[in-house]
Amino acid sequence: MQSIVVYCASSLGTNPIYNEVAVELGEKMAARNIRLIYGAVVLA
């Protein structure tokens, strides 16, 4: 696997576990040289 695409909001939300898991995933992806392709949307 070379890339993972994530399409979501940029807010961490109210639960701190979201940030903890995102950091852990980022570290694992970096260790395996997997690129993140990120997309988000702004709803008015």
pTM: 0.68
**1-42 pLDDT, tens per residue?**
899 988 877 676 788 898 898 899 999 999 999 999 988 766
In the structure, what pLDDT confidence band is assigned to residue 44 with cuts at 50, 70 and 90? low
| Helix, strand, coil share of the chain (percent; to 5) | 35, 25, 45
Q: What is the pLDDT of residue 13?
A: 74
The pLDDT value recorded for residue 32 is 96
pLDDT at res. 31: 97
Residue 21 structure tokens:
């898991």
Locate the DSSP E strands across the chain.
3-7, 35-39
